[in-house]
């Protein structure tokens, strides 16, 4: 390890051990998040230990204890169930380990919280819904409670329904697992068959949207449905822009940038520098029409056209190399 020239200790020497402990690793969002974290860690000459997430709370607890035993200086906790993490996270803090949480509310003033401004994300998506469909329609909604970003987006959906009495939620379904898209597709098929008048689906997670699109194609009703989501990946862009796709808009950050921001927040804390408690990476609305017109086919092309997909100015410092994507 050679360290980063001009960086404060311990980054001047390099080889600082940091753990990335995820609750979910499957799917485009989480893979890109991890890749961004790895790229930022490499740029800081951090020895990043990645613990894969298998939606298993007991395993995630165990991984935190393993990371403490490895002698890491920092831990990024990416999603998870707060009720099963409090005591082990406190153990890490008691040992002087710096902790950063992404999308899991650890409710501790010592732990900076990273999020994608989920309220704004849902508001932007629902604004587009109204632009395309008016304020009176039958909807399907994909939601699983207990995940901080989905719960925040749900608050906006609840408010939206209260403010728009013409919006009727006819069906609610969803599944988060290592087969989220296909399991959601099965549920969507049943919901759409039972409610043929549904014209709009709010599916604020790309795996949910992918599942609903699969169901719509199988049922032959893609031309009668409009899907609005969160998140973006190269595969998503392809699914959104393909001819006849019912997936008409998504609101997203570049997950790689969010991963990089999580590592920077950890590094700044390890270097003894100030980090805000709430760290937000702002999302952008991407419509099918806009993507087609711009001829954007990959997330890299998106990053060239939309500055927010290239980098974030959240938690930066002159000694942290940042041009990564
Ligand atoms: C199961 S939670 C899935 C969400 O986490 C991240 O916030 C992504 O945006 C994704 O939609």
- Whether pTM exceeds 0.95: yes
Segment 166-185, tens digit of pLDDT: 999 999 999 999 899 999 99
pLDDT at 206 over 70: yes
Mutate to test the pocket of ligand 1, among 34, 116, 147, 279 (most ligand atoms within 8 A of CB): 147
Q: Is 230 in the pocket of ligand 1 (CB under 6 A)?
A: yes
Measured by CA distance, the residue closest to atom 6 of ligand 1 is 149
Segment 125-165, tens digit of pLDDT: 999 999 999 999 999 999 999 999 999 999 999 999 999 99
Measured by CA distance, the residue closest to atom 2 of ligand 1 is 147
Give me ligand 1 centre to Cα 150, in Å. Answer: 7
Q: What is the band of 322 on the pLDDT scale with cuts at 50, 70, 90?
A: confident
Measured by CA distance, the residue closest to atom 7 of ligand 1 is 149
Q: How far apart are CA 290 and CA 296, in angstroms?
A: 9
Q: What is the band of 323 on the pLDDT scale with cuts at 50, 70, 90?
A: low
Q: Which residue bears the tokens 């690793």?
A: 25
Q: Which residue bears the tokens 């041009």?
A: 323
Segment 84-114, tens digit of pLDDT: 999 999 999 999 999 999 999 999 999 999 9
Q: How far apart are CA 294 and CA 305, in angstroms?
A: 9
Provide φ and ψ at 174, rounded to 5°. 145, 155
β-sheet with 74-78: strand ranges across: 46-51, 16-22, 74-78, 98-102, 113-115, 278-280
Mutate to test the pocket of ligand 1, among 26, 29, 80, 236 (most ligand atoms within 8 A of CB): 29
Tell me the average pLDDT of the chain.
Answer: 96
pLDDT > 90: percent of the chain? 96
Give Cα separations from 254 to 2, 205, 232, 264, 302 (angstroms).
Answer: 29, 14, 7, 16, 9
ipTM field:
0.99
What pLDDT, on the 0 to 100 scale, is given for residue 1? Answer: 58
Give me ligand 1 centre to Cα 77, in Å. Answer: 14
Mutate to test the pocket of ligand 1, among 230, 257, 299 (most ligand atoms within 8 A of CB): 230
Q: Is 150 in the pocket of ligand 1 (CB under 6 A)?
A: yes
What pLDDT, on the 0 to 100 scale, is given for residue 308? Answer: 84
What pLDDT, on the 0 to 100 scale, is given for residue 307? Answer: 85
- If you average pLDDT over residues 44-59, what whole number do you get? 96
- If you average pLDDT over residues 7-13, what whole number do you get? 97
Q: What is the band of 234 on the pLDDT scale with cuts at 50, 70, 90?
A: very high
Q: Is 205 in the pocket of ligand 1 (CB under 6 A)?
A: yes
Give me ligand 1 centre to Cα 149, in Å. Answer: 6
Domains, the chain, in order of start with CATH, read 16-115+254-282 (3.40.50.2300), 118-252 (3.40.50.2300)
Q: Is 116 in the pocket of ligand 1 (CB under 6 A)?
A: yes
Strands 16-22 and 113-115 come out as unpaired
Structure tokens at 56: 């298993």
| Residue 94 CA, distance from chain mean position | 29
Q: What is the band of 324 on the pLDDT scale with cuts at 50, 70, 90?
A: low
Measured by CA distance, the residue closest to atom 3 of ligand 1 is 205
- If you average pLDDT over residues 253-268, what whole number do you get? 97
């Amino acid at each position: 390890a050679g360290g980063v020239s001009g960086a404060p200790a311990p980054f001047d020497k390099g080889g600082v051990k940091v753990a990335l402990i995820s609750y979910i690793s499957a799917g485009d969002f989480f893979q890109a998040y991890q890749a961004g974290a790895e790229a930022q860690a490499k740029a800081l000459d951090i020895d990043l230990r990645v613990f894969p997430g298998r939606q298993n709370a007991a395993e995630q607890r165990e991984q935190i204890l393993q990371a403490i035993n490895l002698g890491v200086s920092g831990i990024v906790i990416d999603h998870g169930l707060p009720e099963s993490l409090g005591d082990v996270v406190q153990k890490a803090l008691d040992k002087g380990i710096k902790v950063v949480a992404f999308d899991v509310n650890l409710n501790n003033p010592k732990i900076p919280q990273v999020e994608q401004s989920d309220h704004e994300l849902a508001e932007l998506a629902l604004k587009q819904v109204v632009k395309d469909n008016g304020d009176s329609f039958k909807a399907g909604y994909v939601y699983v409670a207990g995940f901080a970003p989905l719960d925040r987006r749900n608050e906006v959906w609840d408010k939206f329904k209260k403010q728009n009495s013409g919006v009727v939620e006819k069906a609610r379904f969803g599944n988060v697992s290592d087969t989220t898209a296909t399991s959601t597709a099965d549920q969507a098929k049943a919901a759409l068959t039972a409610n043929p008048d549904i014209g709009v689906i709010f599916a604020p997670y790309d795996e949910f949207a992918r599942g609903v699109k699969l169901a719509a194609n199988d049922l032959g009703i893609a031309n009668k449905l409009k899907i609005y989501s969160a998140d973006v990946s190269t595969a998503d862009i392809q699914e959104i822009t393909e001819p006849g796709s019912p997936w008409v808009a998504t609101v997203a950050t570049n997950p790689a940038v969010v991963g990089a921001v999580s590592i920077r927040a950890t590094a700044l804390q390890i270097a003894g520098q100030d980090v805000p408690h709430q760290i937000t990476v702002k999302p952008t609305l991407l419509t099918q029409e806009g993507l087609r017109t711009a001829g954007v086919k990959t997330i890299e092309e998106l990053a060239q056209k939309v500055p927010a997909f290239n980098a974030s100015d959240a938690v930066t410092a002159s000694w942290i190399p940042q041009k990564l994507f």
